[in-house]
Amino acid sequence: MTTTDGTVQGRTQIFGSAPPNRAFSVVLLGDGFTAAQQTDFETVCKEFVDALIATPPYDELAPAINIWRVNVTSTDSGADDPASAPGGTGATARTYFDSTFGGNGIRRLLVCNNSTVLQTAAAQVPEFSVAIVVVNSTVYGGSGGSVGTYSLAAGATEIALHEIGHTAYGLADEYPYYAGGNETGHDHHPAGEPGEPNVTLNTNRTTLKWGWAVAAATALPTMSNPDCATVDNRASTVAAGTVGCFEGAHYYHCGAFRPEHNCKMRELSIPFCRVCRQVIWNRIGPLATLPARDRTPISVVARYPEHLDVFAVASDGRTMSDWWDQSSGWAGWFQLSGGFASPGGTGSPITSVARYSGHLDLFVVGTDNRVYSSWWDRSSGWAPWFRVGSLVARPGSTVNVVSRYSDHLDLFTTASDGRTMSTWWDARTGWAADWFQIGGGVAANGASVTAVARHPFHLDVFTVGTDNRVYSAWWDDRTGWSAWFPLPGISCRPDSTVTAVARHPDHLDLFTTASDGKIMSTWWDARGGWASWFQIAGGVASAGSPVTAVVRYTNHMDLFVVGTDNRVYSTWWHDTTGWAAWFNVSGGLAKPGSQIAALSRVTEHLDVFSVGTDGLVQSTWWDGTGGWAAGWFRLAIS
């Protein structure tokens, strides 16, 4: 009963088209299938594929999953079934991986030679993520560990799905017993927080490892075991799908908690709970490119010159991020604390600011049209989303943020009735009492409120009013908020964005699009006041596409926009040469009306991001030494 009892025939990819070096790769190996029974193995493999891909969240992760079949012929059919295990028939079978029921005297414990399995899988599919052996027997059985095994008995596929949870993602068992519930010594979980992401000893809402998934109204703990001498077998006292802390997990009746009342990591044939689904997402999702909402702006921050953090909203509304570091490349897309963004208008974007190099603050309007924030800190990682004030924002509105100095944030957005609203956070006093209306202003439907701080104690804000004119207001530490005043000369689309940059403290440049799509600019200078609006180099934007401006020097600006032919265009202004002609950036195309995100990590470098015509987030760059890159690449993992 060794590898002399069979032959490896070879591999066949039976599902997926992900790049092999950026895929979650499952390898199915057959044992106890004779040469004449290989079609039986192939049928079973198809059934596994159907079961896996139908199981959430795998159904949504399919683009990053490859499944391979490794055909192995065995001399005999079946597996050993020793009579020493109650129920065993005493049958023996000469098979390649030496599969046998009756492990530890328990017939259902189906084991094989793991080392041979792993070496065979590595030889056939070097990049494999998990290896599963399908044993040709209708006796029910399976096992887990570094290799999953299951038989052909009805329902045994569920064993593989549960075991992949352990092997690929480090998920814990959520059942509250070791030997079925009648054992001793498993009343109370010992001290020490488990390392697995789906069990905990901690019910503190603010530090709970899955706190992001717990609704504010859900009690913690959600269910407590009234008798720790036994398993709590009561039905759930809360609605199905409620995420909280349910006592009884990780082999103990009390002291350890699971996220939902039930989960595939607790009971076979049950769906994965919300937390386990998110863990699976975080393992496989980063391997894939990101289908994004077509017109939702992308946000990008360079906390330091060798690092980028990119924020985008997935086509299904998930709040997503990817980061690049010069030392390690792109990390891959992951969902930020389980968040979803409001789908109204062009879709609420995630906006971001780095008050210092080890910290990020994020803002978004959620699906309930409330404003939410999260932060990342180098010392503590990502915080759960929390609500900022009581404001009900316009669906899909943008929350613009300015950090006038490192201990202060000012936020700007529009209320559901269009009022131009603001609030602030200060390190000394925390969040302001609530949002307030700026100068009695009301914005046009779809317009955002943009802001720039020319000084640490001064703000200039801009929007499009209900008469489609551009308006401005300012705040100064000495005088407070001014009234809104118009900047006449153009009529805008109602959803136009007014982009403002301050090249130096006494100067502002504004960019927007007129109702006919013309790309317009004006400026303000402390000495001369406001200039008239003018069209930039004859440019016309795709309807709704905002103008992005980057200041690389005080005397140089770069602009980006999507043109009427959906090409990505750029121009620049230099004080000695004026405005250049618009040119297509690296052959790029973007979604109609979408935004181009751009930033300069260092003065002679630009990184540019957009949603391509295929709906995927893409990027290119310009460098002073080599000019523009030859093309665009899709953001994923590198």
Site for another protein in 235-274 (CB under 8 A): 251, 266-269
Work out whether 201 is an interface residue with another protein (CB under 8 A). no
Nearer to another protein, 166 or 552 (CB): 166
Task: Write the CB contacts of 498 (distance below 8 Å, at least 6 apart in sequence).
Answer: 450, 462, 463, 464, 470, 510, 511, 512
- Give the nearer residue to another protein in terms of CB position, either 156 or 314: 156
Half-sphere exposure in the Cβ direction for 320 (13 Å, CA):
29
- The yes or no reply on residue 390 touching another protein (CB under 8 A) is no
**Nearer Cβ to another protein (283/454):** 283
Indicate which single residue of 2, 13, 17, 21 sits in contact with another protein (rule: CB under 8 A).
21
Q: Do 456 and 426 meet the contact criterion of CB atoms below 8 Å apart? A: no
Q: Of the candidates 2, 17, 119, 406, which one interacts with another protein according to CB under 8 A?
A: 119
Of these, 51, 109, 220, 442, which contacts another protein (CB under 8 A)? 109
**86 lines the binding site for another protein (CB under 8 A):** no
- Which helix (DSSP H) or strand (DSSP E) does residue 60 occupy? helix 58-61
Q: Which of residues 42-61 bind another protein (CB under 8 A)?
A: none
Tell the smallest beta-carbon distance from residue 347 to another protein (Å).
25
User: Any contact of residue 332 with another protein (CB under 8 A)?
Assistant: yes
* Site mask for another protein (CB under 8 A), range 489-508, x = bound: --------------------
Residue 219 near residue 239, CB atoms below 8 Å: no
CB of 12 to another protein, least distance (A): 19
Q: Is 84 in the site for another protein (CB under 8 A)?
A: no
Q: For another protein, give the closer residue by CB, 178 or 534.
A: 178
Going by C-alpha positions, the residue among 23, 125, 127, 141 that lies closest to residue 71 is 125
Is the Cβ of residue 20 or residue 592 nearer to another protein in the bound state?
20
The least CB distance from residue 396 to another protein, in Å, is 29
In the bound state with another protein, the residue whose beta carbon lies nearer, of 159 and 547, is 159
Instruction: Write down the least CB distance from residue 480 to another protein, Å.
Output: 43
Kindly tell me which residue out of 142, 255, 338, 539 binds another protein, with binding defined by CB under 8 A.
142
Q: What is the dihedral of CA 53, 131, 144, 49, to 10 degrees?
A: 20
Nearest approach, Cβ of residue 208 and another protein (Å): 15
Q: For residue 220, state whether it binds another protein (rule: CB under 8 A).
A: no
**Which member of 2, 39, 47, 122 binds another protein (CB under 8 A)?**
122
Number of other CB atoms surrounding residue 138 within 10 Å: 11
Binding residues for another protein, total number by CB under 8 A: 82
Neighbours of 270 (CB within 10 A): 16
Residue 414 tokens read as 């529009």
- Shortest Å, Cβ 177 to another protein: 6
- Token match 């200041």: residue? 551
Strands 24-31 and 65-74 turn out to be parallel
Amino acid at 392: V
The residue from 6, 88, 144, 347 that contacts another protein (CB under 8 A) is 144
| CB environment 165-185: b (16+ within 10 A), e (fewer) | bbbbbebbbbbbbeeeeeeee
**Binding test (CB under 8 A) with another protein, winner from 143, 352, 422, 548:** 143
State the residue for tokens 């070879």.
10
Distance CA 18, CA 461 (A): 46
- If one asks whether residue 379 binds another protein (CB under 8 A), the answer comes out as no
Q: Of residues 8, 91, 106, 353, which one binds another protein by CB under 8 A?
A: 106
- The reply on whether position 488 binds another protein by CB under 8 A is no
Q: List the interface residues with another protein, window 509-568 (CB under 8 A).
A: none
Contact between 312 and 290 (Cβ < 8 Å): yes
The residues in 402-421 that bind another protein, with binding defined as CB under 8 A, are none
Dist CA 374 CA 367 (whole Å): 15
Minimum CB distance to another protein, residue 539 (Å)? 27
Buried b (16+ CB within 10 A) or exposed e, 404-426: beeebbbbbbbbeebbbbbbbbe
Burial class (CB within 10 angstroms; exposed 0-12, middle 13-18, buried 19+) of 609: buried
Q: Which is nearer to another protein, 306 or 506 (CB)?
A: 306
In the chain, % helix, strand, coil (3-state, to 5) comes to 10, 40, 45
Nearer to another protein, 22 or 205 (CB): 22
- Figure out which of the listed residues 192, 480, 529, 578 binds another protein, where binding follows CB under 8 A: 192
- Separation CA 590–CA 611 (nearest Å): 6
The token duo for 170 is 């480090």
* Reduced 3-state DSSP string for 472-529: EEEEECCCEECCCEECCCCCECCCCCCEEEEEECCEEEEEEEECCCEEEEEEEECCCE
328, 380, 390, 437: which one binds another protein (CB under 8 A): 328
CB of 552 to another protein, least distance (A): 13
Site for another protein in 583-622 (CB under 8 A): 602, 604-605, 607, 619, 621
**Measured from the CB atom, is 3 or 282 closer to another protein?**
282
**Closest distance between another protein and the C-beta of residue 280, in Å?**
10
Q: Scan residues 145-184 and list those touching another protein (CB under 8 A).
A: 145-147, 153, 155-156, 158-159, 162-163, 166-170, 173, 175, 177-181
**Where in 266-325 is the site for another protein (CB under 8 A)?**
266-269, 282-283, 286-287, 306, 308, 324
The amino acid present at 269, given as its one-letter code, is: S
Answer whether 97's CB lies under 8 Å from 29's CB.
yes
Please report how close the Cβ of residue 623 comes to another protein at its closest, in angstroms. Answer: 6
Closest contact distance (angstroms) between CB of 197 and another protein is: 8
Report how far apart, in Å, the C-alpha atoms of 333 and of each of 53, 159, 319, 575 are.
Answer: 20, 29, 10, 39
d(C-alpha 440, C-alpha 413), whole Å: 14
Residues 450/426, Cβ–Cβ less than 8 Å: no
Q: Which is nearer to another protein, 129 or 472 (CB)?
A: 129
Q: For residues 105 and 241, which CB has a smaller minimum distance to another protein in the complex?
A: 105
d(CA 287, CA 324) in angstroms, rounded, equals: 14
State the number of CA atoms in the 13 A half-sphere of 483 facing the CB.
Answer: 2
Shortest reach from residue 255's CB to another protein, in Å: 16
